[in-house]
Amino acid sequence: MSLTNYFLFGFVLCGALENDDPEGRVVGGTDAPEGAMPHQVSLELKAGRSDLNFPFCGGAIISDRWILTAAHCIQDLSARYLRVLAGTNSKSSGGTRYKVDKIVKHEKYTPRPNVNDIALLRTTEKIKFTDKVKAIEIATEDPKPGDLCKLSGWGFTDQNERNSPDKLQWLDVKIISEKDCKTDYLKRYEQSYPVTENHICTLNKDGEGTCHGDSGGSLVCNNKSYGIVSWNIPSARGQPDIYTRTTKYFKWIEDKMEANKP
């Protein structure tokens, strides 16, 4: 997939509600305090031989060499074009960029129905930890419906316009049950994009939630990663946001990190 086609695909997916495809942004959030989400990274595509880097997804630092993200973010991409920006709330200044030398995508990931939407990225060198750069722990127990968690990202901040902020946005989101997640609206997508026990759902008021650019970031509860931003239909219009449930993939994460030690 070319860089041009990749970005065109992302914009069409986020804006074309009539296509009945799931989206994958923080809408209704506010600027996060500097260093408040030290695990948060921006995934970027390097544009050929130039010095330009284009942000397209989020991720979470889980060790000094590994980033947790969504498989759909890195589908058909080569590690040599990927960069990881850590240690800053601004996409345009500060922080440190790391190259990627290994992509580990879930072997049973399928774009449609978007199952096993999880991947790991290994950086070429160790990530230097500071007050603004820290690894986040992967949760081993599920959150409960009603729990408040944090969502963060640089995705589009407006439902109707392509406004991507320079500053990291964050938002409180509420966990809902799998049963409540399967609303009448989502039932029309059940065959193509089923919600299963491997997902976590959150629901906020109309005008708040995820959108394109937030994909791959972590759902954080009690300073632990409980989910990976995966998809929703449509962005921040009072419908559930869907995350890959990281507790279901804890062993997969451990096994893949061990098997792919640098």
Residue 117 designated active-site: yes
Rg over alpha carbons for the chain, rounded to the nearest Å, is: 17
| Residue 3 buriedness (CB in 10 A; 0-12 / 13-18 / 19+) | middle
DSSP 165-179: -SBPEEEEEEEE-HH
Distance CA 78, CA 137 (A): 27
The one catalytic residue in 21, 117, 214, 241 is: 117
Task: Show the tokens assigned to 60.
Answer: 């979470």
Distance CA 86, CA 22 (A): 28
> Which of these, 242, 206, 211, lies nearest to 226 by C-alpha position?
242
Distance CA 214, CA 155 (A): 5
The one catalytic residue in 39, 72, 106, 212 is: 72
The one catalytic residue in 164, 215, 225, 230 is: 215
Residue 164 designated active-site: no
Residue 92 designated active-site: no
Task: Show the tokens assigned to 105.
Answer: 């995508």
What is the 3-class SS of 121-151, one letter each residue?
EEECCCCCCECCECCCEECCCCCCCCCEEEE
DSSP 91-111: SSSSSEEEEEEEEEE-TT-BT
Active site residues: 72, 117, 215
